[in-house]
Amino acid sequence: MIKTFFDFCSGIGAGRLGLERCGLKCVGHSDTSRLADCSYRLLHQTEDKNYGNLKKLGQDNLPDFDLLIAGFPCQTFSVIGRQAGFSDDRGQIIFHLSRILREKRPKCFILENVKGLVRHDNGQTIKKIIEELEESGYSTTYKVITSLNCGVPQMRQRVYFVGIRKDKVNNISDFVWPEDMPMPKLEDYLIDRVPISTLNLDILKRYLVNPTNAGKYTVEDLSRMNGKVLDTRMNDLRIYDGKVPTLRAQRDGIYYVFDNKIYQLTGYEALILQGFPKEYADRVKDKVTDRHLLMQAGNAMTVNVIEMLGICLIQYLKTKENK
């Protein structure tokens, strides 16, 4: 049985909440962002120790735990980043995580990264990561999961790694991944209804006349698209129905239309779209700036996905132990 976990690269603790919903206990977290840690403490109402930079952590300064969870830095593998991968120092975090696995020997782990990792360097990067985790003593599998299929209306695709110590299970090729859930109604998530600011409206107008979008829409056209989500990604205006695009830390510019009015996505709504219950989001509203919440939500894992993975992992281990 697994009872405890350590929350590495913790951010605002979406992974923590997902695993707590599975009945597991957090014994510590680690993150280098002071602002994210402030939100973490508010969201989870905790004064737990932040162990800090995981590169400096190991056998001598970490508690024991059954499960390691980490959404390790993704900027170096992302399609919107430089895709430097292992040549960038941020891409080395995975090797520190594997070192901690070797030193602490937890029973299992859950890791998360961007979908682009799967095809980075023609598949050589993910091959190297799997080899590293296997050599650390863990039978490992992975899958790209979309948050849309896990109970939130967000088009977030991420690759998830699940590993179990080989003395527990030598081959997890038969690991059972979560089954898809129906997508909920988007209007239940877009509840703040903050009108688009003058600044953002000016930015949107510039999008509408750039070479990519010129002549397609006016602001008046968009304001009549009730129920639609508008995404000013790069130079391209994209329009979605019933769902929002992937939340990202390095940009905002997501809007939506109801009652012939254009609203801007808020940090509060972004948290809910990442699976945080409203009572959690209420704890940081008006205490953390909207811009920081948007960035932090964009960096977070989706709570629902981690909860579903945790349930699958616990059940899988139970099945194997009973045999």
Active site residues: 74
Sign of the torsion formed by the C-alpha atoms of 222, 227, 231 and 236: negative
Instruction: With beta carbons less than 8 A apart as the criterion, state whether 98 and 138 touch.
Output: no
Task: For the beta carbon of residue 81, count every other beta carbon within 10 angstroms.
Answer: 17
Structure tokens at 217: 């829409």
Amino acid making up residue 140: T
Least Cα distance to 269 among 259, 252, 260, 261 occurs for 252
CA distances, 77 to each of 72, 105, 120, 123, 156 (Å): 11, 27, 7, 12, 15
CB within 8 A of 220, min separation 6: which ones? none
Residue 37 gets the label, from left (phi > 0), alpha (psi -120 to 50) or beta, of alpha
| Planar angle of CA 75, 284, 233, nearest 5 degrees | 35
